[in-house]
Amino acid sequence: MSPAAIFLNALAHAYSAVGLYAEGHPARVRSLDLTFKALEALMAEDSAPNFSFIHDQVVYGDKPLPEMRNWALSGRLAERQIERIEFARGLRPAELNRFLERLATGGSGEERFWSTDSTEFRFIRFGPIRMGAVEEDAHSAFNLDRQRANLDELHEDAARKGRLSGAFARSVVDTIAMAMRSESKMLVPLVPLKQFDQYTTVHSMNTSVLSMALGEFMQLAGPEVRIVGEAALLHDVGKVEVPVEILNKPDMLDDEEWEHIKRHPVAGARILMRSGEGMELAAIAAYEHHMRTDGTGYPETNPPRKPHRISQLIHLCDAYDAMRTTRPFQKAMPHGEILKILVKGAGTEFNKDLVKRFITMLKEWEERIVVADGEESVPDA
């Protein structure tokens, strides 16, 4: 178990002891002592450890801790509006004790978050997440480029083993979802394509971001938004079975190469169905994300059938990001032209209701759509 996980487990036990025993009780003193020692061990390798909490996921710095999913204190922190905790050198056991008492007895930590003038808490900061929108790049705190590397690793596993880790995929989605939060608003942090050979992973991340943003805009429940994001993140995983020279070809594909591309939805569905429980909807979306609402597209079915609503949502976001991105054989399209194509395809290629909601979302959230290199607003290539 990592030092971060050891500390969090000790912290949960200390919280229980504070709630059960009076000040000075040996069990409480011992639990606090063990927690403080665990924190000192963690600070020996990280002088300013910080933890963020979203849904049932714990993120240490910008690295998800899968072993801490459903951590014992997650629910209590959510009740107290605490989505982030930071520890600084100089912390003493007495302050840690006060923090646990505060947590146990009530009161939101919101007014303490990022404060520099608190006399009660000088070396612990806690409260709602404040990200990006004011002082720093919306992506630096959770390093979306690292998540792109994690997605590369997932794709490598899929290519080598024919399956991937659902838990790892969910941790990437949870970190992306956290990067989308800014105070009470949502950011839509699109990752720029810097090299053409990054297209599959960058496009998958952007499709996931757009799909979760649309799900949030449609007021889906939090767990449903994550399921949509996970399915969107993995929708193109079948491309690991397409030769790289075809994926990165700078010219238009010939008929044989196009047939290779058209096989990736089936390949993706097979990979995800081999990846264990919880991958069923992702497998459906991988299989159907190139099917049109009118039942055409690929893979062809006989008789043609209407794709799942998640597949229709992902297909829309997939198409939007593909059109807004420059690739070797295609320049990015102007934003207005993309919207015209979406409207024209509403009811045939795309779900009509989803197109209406998506365009409304883009117009309402235009100022909250951020490209990771600093360019703001909906990209107008």
Whether residue 259 is predicted with pLDDT greater than 80 in this model: the reply is: yes
Rounded-to-integer distance, Cα 208 and Cα 190, Å: 10
Rounded-to-integer distance, Cα 207 and Cα 220, Å: 17
pTM assigned to the model: 0.66
Whether residue 302 is predicted with pLDDT greater than 50 in this model: the reply is: yes
Whether residue 373 is predicted with pLDDT greater than 70 in this model: the reply is: no
Q: What is the pLDDT of residue 375?
A: 38
Rounded-to-integer distance, Cα 72 and Cα 66, Å: 14
Q: What is the pLDDT of residue 337?
A: 93
Give whole-number Cα distances, 90 to 12, 48, 82, 285, 339, in Å.
21, 10, 22, 50, 54
> 297 versus 250: which is more confidently predicted?
297
- Structure tokens belonging to residue 61: 């710095």
**134 phi and psi angles, rounded to 5 deg:** -105, -60
3-state class (DSSP) for residue 51: strand
Whether residue 172 is predicted with pLDDT greater than 60 in this model: the reply is: yes
Rounded-to-integer distance, Cα 211 and Cα 213, Å: 5
Q: What is the pLDDT of residue 368?
A: 60
Whether residue 62 is predicted with pLDDT greater than 90 in this model: the reply is: no
Summarize the confidence of residues 299-318 as an average pLDDT: 91
Q: What is the pLDDT of residue 15?
A: 92
Report yes or no: 264 and 346 within 8 Å, Cβ to Cβ.
Answer: no
Whether residue 118 is predicted with pLDDT greater than 60 in this model: the reply is: no
> 339 versus 364: which is more confidently predicted?
339
Whether residue 46 is predicted with pLDDT greater than 50 in this model: the reply is: yes
Report yes or no: 114 and 172 within 8 Å, Cβ to Cβ.
Answer: no
Q: What is the pLDDT of residue 360?
A: 93
Nearest to 287 by CA among 242, 240, 235: 235
Q: What is the pLDDT of residue 42?
A: 95
| Mean pLDDT, rounded, of the chain | 82
Which of these ranges, 110-114, 143-147, 306-310, 315-319, has the smallest mean pLDDT? 110-114
Domains of the chain in start order, with CATH, are 3-127 (no CATH), 144-371 (1.10.3210.10)
Rounded-to-integer distance, Cα 342 and Cα 320, Å: 8
Helices (H), 218-279: 222-233, 244-247, 255-262, 264-273
Q: What is the pLDDT of residue 372?
A: 46
Give percent of the chain with pLDDT exceeding 90: 43
3-state class (DSSP) for residue 63: strand
Reported in sequence order, the residue ranges of 31-182 that DSSP labels E, i.e. its strands, are 50-54, 57-60, 63-64, 84-87, 124-127, 181-182
Ordered DSSP codes for 324-342? TS-BTTBPPPPHHHHHHHH
